[in-house]
Chains A and B, each alone.
Chain A
Amino acid sequence: MLFSSITFIYYFLPILLIIYFSISSKFKNLILLIFSLLFYFLGEPKYIIVLILSCIVNYFLSRLIYKGKNSKVYLLIGIIYNISSLLIFKYTDFFIYNINNLFKINIPFLYIVMPIGISFYTFQILAYIIDVYNKKHKPADSLLTFMTYVCLFPQLVAGPIVRYSDIKEQIIKREQSFTKVSEGIKRFVIGLSKKVLLANVLGELSKSIIEETLVASWIRPLLYTLQIYFDFSGYSDMAIGLGLILGFRFLENFNYPLIASSITDFWRRWHISLSSWFKDYVYIPLGGSKKGTLKLVRNIFIVWSLTGFWHGASWNFVIWGLYFALLLIIEKLFLKKYLDRTKIIKYIYTLLIVVISFLIFNETDLSNLIYNLKNMFSLSIPFIGKESIYYLKSNCILLLVSFISSTPLLKTIVNKVKETKIKKLINILEPVIYILLLILNTAFLIDGSFNPFLYFRF
């Protein structure tokens, strides 16, 4: 089920909230678990077994790890179990395809459908068992607590990758207040608007411009960059908002990545929960940057190949990861200090690198990728055509809103205004604005086509 669906907003959510807020605290986790499993079941009936089995296996493994006897062996079993289930469900056909191509054989494809969210909850569970092994926290006190954590529907299918250490107290006891629920509602509606009013529309727009001109060859990846940003950060906003409504406070997953001043900075702002996962569980255990330049280069390449590969069973994702690895190494070795001295160039440089990266990210056909990249730097194609002119003209306000929304400008202005005398007016207007946004989102959903979240496929 999508957060940005009528079924979720008008049926699933009110029923859950009515029950959730009318029962005693001791049953809240049980209700959350039941609704989370229902949420997953409705989207992926068959694979709920994979999810439940994974919870049960890892819960008992974590207890065995914590007991101390043979903990390394149990940790190893846990890591193998989780990684192999991810590899089997997500990458089997990719491996078959490449083995067939390499050895000129013909192993039939298995056409395994990937359980939705497996990349996210597997990483969450891996972090959990490793942290138990490292005594960062105790294992969950009951299977109910553990399953409530893993299956918690706001973050189950597309993150953020919430660490148990960050919410363990909240799972047992969480504060509920109107302020928190109101904050959650606002965050949810903002996320919904990013997805429905911006990401979906930008996605359609980028597909409409098919002409082969220099402007179009840049606009398409730029629009896709904006689309994927609003799509994924919108989803994270909705997840964080729903968490707040239910009494949880998840860590932020995005921090205006499109205004980053370097690629290093970009990855501190984009999909923060994934990059910090790789940092804590791969990069630092490998030695990070503290064991000499050669090992730094090796570690960055390992981490970014894996980051790319995590996104999908396709070579373009690996290339995407390696592209960032290369740029991060260049920045770390010498470029960063020069960039830091500039005022505007560093932002333009980062945005260009990011836009090109999402062209790689979005194009699974490598020959198309090369063709599109060539066009971006070709002087032999026309500069601009009637399509680009028409769509830019028709969507100038939408684009302006999108650019502004990808920066903290609006947030800063609202915060400044709240400090002035018209604060009262803002207080009156705020509830009206959010209801109007909800009505507008509903209108776009009703008159729109099916638009799943881009990160659901990862």
Chain B
Amino acid sequence: MKDKIIVFSFMIYIILFSLLHIIINDNEISFEERRNLSTFPKFEFTSKFITNLEDYFLDQFPFRNRFRSVKANFNYNILLKLDNNIYLKDNYIFKSIYPTNKKSIDNFKKNVIKIKNMFPESNNFYLMIIPDKNYYLEDKNFLKIDYEYIFNSLKELNIQTINIKDILSLSDYYETDTHWKQENLDKVIKKMSTVLNFNYQMFNYTKVIYNNFYGVYYGESAINRSPEIITYLTNNFIDNLEVKYLENKKLNNIYNKEKLTSFDSYEVFLDGASSFIEIKNNMIKNNKELIIFRDSFASSLIPLLTPYYSKITVIDNRYISSEYFFKYLDYENNDILFIYSTLIMNDSYSLKG
């Protein structure tokens, strides 16, 4: 009898799931994993077909997210693992970026030097290192990269550094995402003003709130939790900026509100992955220009810098090479600022230099 139960339960289980896959329509995208899902592959006369077929079945397997959740819960609650590639602590989700990749840090420095050398010395160069949120995790268990090594190593660049690591804390970062919160960055602007020599002012902003934000680590963690709030700051001044994007010609605002409901709500800031942006503030007549080389952390910071410069040029050299962007730049007597997170420094091979 027991044998019959085992045979029938096994057969029913595997047949049920293969039938369910046939019955349930395929999904095009995974919101949680922020990616397009595989579609049924075309047949080809190589072993690649079976690889693609497996990818398709994996992506379209019925209740895929539930299964991912089963694995995460098994690892945390049964195996009592400290992480499932994702580390959970006090509502915060962290992703380990261990170990320190010294070659990548050297590559990052080479990139910065290459760009710096393209500009005449009449420009002022600044570097701002944004620690990823693991830096602020107070847990001896967790494996962290050697932040001190990074900070010391970047001193070799001989670029004036804006030190913000001591004014930030974990609460300045989203719980489910890698990035920092725009509404907490006033202290960063204040600190920048002391180095970049602009007159810091306290502006009044309207807070626009979206309360269904799931950050990038939420999907990776495969755990159930409530969404958090993402806020962007605006006012009349910001609304009247003249903004030009290289990729998105239609957008002329520093925020893309449509992105709030997309995979990645953080892309509301500067339209997410944008290679080259020009922001003109016609209400400021100081002729001060700022050129920023940056990663995604800067997207939420830059709107708050706009009251201080008549023009800000924003370059994300993960998506555009230096040869290409250089023809768009005025390159005399500007402030040139490199803003990168330690995440990019430790994995810098996407930078095109």
Contact = CB atoms under 8 A, between A and B. Distances in A.
A114 interface: no
A435 B11 contact: no
Interface stretch (B63-71, B155-163, B265-273, B331-339): B63-71
Interface string B138-153: 0001110000000000
Nearest to A444: B71
21 contacts: A2-B54, A6-B58, A7-B54, A10-B17, A42-B47, A42-B49, A182-B2, A183-B3, A185-B7, A185-B10, A210-B99, A390-B82, A390-B143, A394-B81, A395-B79, A398-B81, A430-B6, A431-B6, A434-B10, A440-B71, A442-B61
Interface in A342-396: 386-387, 390, 393-396
Interface of B: 2-7, 9-11, 13-15, 17-18, 21, 45-47, 49-51, 53-54, 57-58, 61, 64, 67-68, 70-72, 74, 78-83, 99, 141-143, 222
Interface string A24-59: 000000000000000000111110000000000000
Contacts of A395: 79, 81
Contact of B57 (A7, A42, A186, A439): A7
Contacts of A406: none
Contact of B14 (A13, A398, A444): A13
B2 to A, nearest CB: 5
Q: Max chain B CB contacts within 10 Å: which of A1, A6, A17, A393?
A: A6
A11 interface: yes
B2 A393 contact: no
Given A393-B82, A393-B141, A431-B2, A446 B61 contact: yes
Interface residue SS majority, chain B:
helix
Contacts of B9: 431, 434-435
B57 A11 contact: yes
A430 B5 CA distance: 10
A99 B61 CA distance: 50
A230 B49 CA distance: 28
A447 B72 CA distance: 9
B13 A182 contact: no
A387 B143 contact: yes
A399 to B, nearest CB: 10
Contacts of B81: 394-395, 397-398
Given A387-B143, A393-B82, A396-B80, 5 more contacts: A182-B7, A186-B6, A386-B143, A390-B141, A438-B13
A181 B141 CA distance: 47
Contacts of A390: 82, 141-143
Interface residue SS majority, chain A:
helix
A427 interface: yes
Given A393-B141, A431-B5, A439 B70 contact: yes
Given A10-B21, A14-B15, A440 B70 contact: yes
A447 B222 contact: yes
A386 B2 CA distance: 49
B21 to A, nearest CB: 7
Nearest to B62: A10
A10 B18 contact: yes
Considering the complex of A and B, which 9 residue pairs feature the smallest CB-CB distances, nearest first?
A: A182-B3, A394-B82, A443-B70, A443-B71, A443-B67, A6-B57, A182-B6, A178-B3, A447-B68
B281 to A, nearest CB: 47
B74 A9 contact: no
B48 to A, nearest CB: 10
Contacts of A397: 78-81
B141 A5 contact: no
Nearest to A400: B79
A445 interface: yes
Interface string A181-197: 11101100100000000
Contacts of B54: 2, 5-7, 450
Contacts of B45: 45-46
A185 B15 CA distance: 14
A396 B75 CA distance: 12
A179 interface: yes
B11 A14 contact: yes
A190 B248 CA distance: 54
A46 B49 CA distance: 12
